[in-house]
Amino acid sequence: MLRRTLGVVLVNVIVFCVLAELLALFLFYNDTGRLFYTYQKPYEPIAETQQGRLTGDGLHPYFGPTHRQGYPFDIPEPLRENASSPGRVPTNNFGFASTHNYPFMKTSPNQFVIGMFGGSVGAWFCQVGAHRLVEDLKANAFFKAREIVPLCLSHEGYKQPQQLLVLSYFLSIGQTFDLVLNIDGFNEVTLSSFNNQRGLDISMPSAMHLDPLVNLVNQATLTPEKLQSLAAISQYKERINYLVGRLQHNRIAAINFVLERLHRSATASYQAEVARFAALPSNPSDASPFKTGAEKGYPLLVRESERLKSRVNFLNATAIFDRESAAVYMDDCCHYTLRGNQLLADAIARQILTSKGAWN
């Protein structure tokens, strides 16, 4: 009797495992369009944790906050134009997300170098909107005959005069540009307002982006909440890297299904904790006045922009989404969806092609 019961249990376990494997194979194929046994999804560990570092951020003596070389800039699937679009771009020798090290030297007189400067909106545009910009420009005979090389020199939190300092620095070390694109406005009014509340000059780098680095070296700014948050971030990093290791070596679809869900959960928790740490005040009076700064600052920007048009090739892009019915913002701050970046690229291309230059 016992033998028969064990046999039934064993058969049920085998049937369950087979069905679980088949279901996992179906879900994997439905997600990737590939067979699990012949295709392995790329799962990247968090590099600074592997290297024994607490963070992948650094401090440049002229630019302010930056990233270490090799820091991953991840591009979520909804922001990728197609299946062949890269999901990750590592930072280069200066900490910018780019496939080129700087200074980039032309290998052909046919190359046309576009430097793209800005904050996080600019950094996302480099990865999500630049391809569309190149396509739009290629409709013009001048650009069609050339290899357009976009160089990303944007970094989250940068605001004037950081973009100007970055441009000046690279010009001084021999970088050449055929065209310079600067995307700014939001950080100048919101992050500068935050600096002002902190008693810091508005021309200084963003306090919001400097604080996490300061917290790592200045114990006086580490509140108990921030210490707990740092510990949680470190634990999530270790968990993610452990799961990545398991995923990279596992060849059973059902186990992969479970590990992948755990990896997604750990990644989401890690990202949420990083955002929480950045938002935690060093004292209870600190706040992030994005809404107030934008509401008060943008009317002034729009008004002053009219004076700029007579001196530089300036585009006021505040109205480019007015007739778009699809979602153009991917968060409650200022960052665009794929469609938003495409519309911005179209507007910039029109501005370039209708302005005075070698292309007309």
CA distance 67 to 58: 5
Residue 276 corresponds to which tokens in the numbers above?
A: 């929480």
Residue 59's pLDDT is what?
A: 81
* All residues at 6 or more sequence positions from 128 whose CB lies less than 8 Å from its CB, including other chains: 75, 79, 80, 81, 336, 338, 341
Query: Is the separation of the CB atoms in 65 and 210 below 8 Å?
Result: yes
pLDDT digit string (tens) for the chain, length 360 residues: 777 787 777 878 888 888 888 887 888 888 888 888 888 787 777 765 555 555 677 788 899 888 889 888 888 888 888 877 888 899 999 999 999 999 999 999 999 999 999 999 999 999 999 999 999 999 999 999 999 999 999 999 999 999 999 999 999 999 999 999 999 998 998 888 888 888 888 888 888 787 766 655 555 555 667 667 767 777 878 888 888 888 888 888 888 888 888 888 888 887 777 766 655 554 433 444 577 888 888 888 888 888 888 788 888 998 999 999 999 988 878 889 999 999 999 999 999 999 988 898
* All residues at 6 or more sequence positions from 51 whose CB lies less than 8 Å from its CB, including other chains: none
Residue 24's pLDDT is what?
A: 78
Residue 285's pLDDT is what?
A: 39
Query: Is the separation of the CB atoms in 322 and 103 below 8 Å?
Result: no
Residue 309's pLDDT is what?
A: 80
Phi, psi angle pair for 115, to nearest 5°:
-90, 125
Residue 57's pLDDT is what?
A: 79
Residue 222's pLDDT is what?
A: 55
pLDDT tens for each residue of 253-311: 888 888 888 888 888 887 777 766 655 554 433 444 577 888 888 888 888 888 888 78
Query: Is the separation of the CB atoms in 188 and 159 below 8 Å?
Result: yes
pLDDT tens for each residue of 112-126: 999 999 999 999 999
CA distance 191 to 293: 8
Q: What is the pTM of this model?
A: 0.70
CA distance 356 to 360: 7
Residue 159's pLDDT is what?
A: 93
Residue 256's pLDDT is what?
A: 85
CA distance 151 to 112: 10
Query: Which residue matches tokens 């369950």?
Result: 16
Of 286, 269, 153, the closest CA to residue 208 belongs to 286
Residue 268's pLDDT is what?
A: 83
Residue 213's pLDDT is what?
A: 66
